[in-house]
Amino acid sequence: MVRWRMVARAADASPSERPTIEALIEALDPEVRAAIDDVDRTLIALALQQSPWDRLRSASRMAQTLARIGDAIASQGG
């Protein structure tokens, strides 16, 4: 419920007034925040198990994917 109210307010807010990811997470239920922390720790541990080259390759692919998503959003006027 908190999430929906914050998102609704964020849609009408100027960029400087929009809540940050940290603020949105802080507004969540403590159990949800704990689950996010667990996922973060798991992802960090998995990334550290990769070789540096594999991490670089993965980061490069993610950057390319994010660029494509950004281009798609921009082409739709969003």
d(CA 63, CA 27): 29
User: What's residue 12's pLDDT?
Assistant: 58
User: What's residue 28's pLDDT?
Assistant: 84
Q: What is the DSSP string of 2-47?
A: HHHHHHHHHHHS-TTTSPPHHHHHHTS-HHHHHHHHHHHHHHHHHH
Is the pLDDT at 64 greater than 90? The verdict is yes
Query: Is the pLDDT higher at 74 or at 16?
Result: 74
* pLDDT tens, residue by residue, 9-59: 555 556 667 788 888 888 888 888 889 889 989 988 998 999 999 999 999
pLDDT band at 5 (very low <50, low <70, confident <90, very high): very low
